[in-house]
Structure 1
Amino acid sequence: MCCSAVPASRPGPRARSHPVQSKKAAAGSPTGKPAQRVIKKYPNRRLYDTDTSTYITLAEVKQLVMDSEPFVVRDAKTNEDLSRSILLQIILEEEAGGQPMFSEAALANLIRIYGHASQAFMGSYLEKNVQAFTDIQAKLTEQSKTLTPEMWAQFMRMQNPLMQGLMGNYVEQSKSAFDKMQEQMAKQTEQMLGAFGIKR
């Protein structure tokens, strides 16, 4: 998509009382699939939404993520895809807030994985784990919509033990799957070394 410069006389971000909604995404493409929203990042670090022709904030980009709206962030000059760096920036801001998700120990462990032989496997492993947790959360949210006030109160009382049970089983299964993956990797390494006549 051609990156046109924003006129110098353009006013600042428009004030909004509701989240930005893409007209393209609402209408969708001829195939029924929503068009990908394009956000341009300028050297002054401002983000320009080409769908609404307005500047948007990082908080509004986060809302697009929350709404599961497809988008891509591109450098206005080079057209380089900056989506990952923007998503990481959102995570950084969330972690710097009042309730961080990762402890220092967890972050240190993640850093140690970079450059390790298991880095490629760990990326896929974490992605599947996060997706599975999100699916569990979505099912619980969907079930809660049909609850009466009395049933909801009971649901809230048993939520913590229920989640502990669900996640306990899930973590155990996840650990088992990871152990099997490590075992398979060890066997493949042994076979490869054996083929070269090398013994560990």
Structure 2
Amino acid sequence: MPDHTAPQESKAAPRIIKKYPNRRLYDTSTSTYITLAEVRQLVIDGTQVAVRDAKSGEDLTRSILLQIILEEEAGGAPMFSEAALANIIRFYGHAMQGFMGAYLEKNVQMFTEVQAKLAEQTKTITPEMWSHFMNLQSPMMQSLMGSYVEQSQTVFQHMQEQMNKQTEQMLGAFGIKQR
């Protein structure tokens, strides 16, 4: 059974995957061709990967990661609703685009940390303790999610403060003072 706890990204050099014009992916560390599903598994396992165009050396990592997400979204129970996707699209080209990316990244990181802590705590639970835990799950989950929401609000407030500072600086450059 696969372990779906939060993997820790390795600080080692990324595993280099070369993408050839025929759309094949070549893992330079194993000297073998791999599939997109295998790249997905590397990411799940916490391996840092870097995908490069075999000819030009151009970084294609984001493109491949987005392709994996697209296949996951199309293949089963999607993570994002249509409304969430539409809202994400609306932020492209918007003044808040950079902040939105950082906000989402921080929230996903916080959620991953909460998930890892919960998984670590459940490793030592006996069946009796598990039964008791399930009876107390609602208050515990409320506390856990409350902490997550509180952290999320802090990140959002920080993002708003940064936006206000940048707005003041921009307006100040034009000689306009904000009230």
TM-score (norm 2): 0.81
Q: How many angstroms does 1:38 deviate by?
A: 1.4
Residue 113 in structure 1 maps to residue 91 in structure 2: yes
Give 5+ residue unaligned stretches, structure 1: 1-32
Gaps of 5+ in 2: 1-10
How far does residue 63 in structure 1 lie from its aligned partner after superposition?
0.9
- Name 2:27's counterpart in structure 1: 49
* Structure 2 partner of 1:101: 79
8 A contact 2:91–2:97 mirrored in 1: yes
Deviations 1:99-133 (A, max 9, x none): 11111111011011111111111111111111111
Q: Looking at CA atoms only, which structure, 1 or 2, has the larger radius of gyration?
A: 1
Which 10-residue stretch deviates more, 162-171 or 132-141? 162-171
Aligned pairs, how many?
A: 168
Q: 1:187 Cα shift?
A: 5.4
Where 1:68 maps in the other structure, the secondary structure is coil
Q: Is the 8 Å Cα contact of residues 106 and 155 (structure 2) preserved in structure 1? A: no
TM superposition shift of 1:152: 2.2
Equivalent AA in structure 2 for residue 53 of structure 1: S
Once residues 112 and 127 of structure 1 are traced to their aligned partners in structure 2, the CA distance between those partners, rounded to angstroms, is 17
Alignment of 1:146 with 2:124, yes or no, is yes
Taking structure 1 as reference, are residues 187 and 76 closer, same or farther at Cα in structure 2, changes over 3 Å only?
A: closer
Give the secondary structure class of the aligned counterpart of 1:91.
Answer: helix
Change in 2 beyond 3 A, CA 1:180/1:51: closer
Instruction: Return the offset for 1:190.
Output: 4.1
State the match for 2:39 in structure 1.
61
Q: Percent identity?
A: 76
CA distance in 1 between counterparts of 2:12 and 2:170 reads 46
Rounded to whole Å, the distance in 2 between the matches of 1:168 and 1:81 is 39
1:180: how far off? 5.0
Whose helix proportion is higher, 1 or 2?
A: 2
> Residues 77-96 of structure 1 correspond to what in structure 2 (within 5 A)?
77-96=55-74
- Structure 2 CA distance, aligned partners of 1:43 and 1:192? 45
Alpha carbons of 1:181 and 1:76: their partners in 2 closer, same or farther (altered >3 Å)?
closer
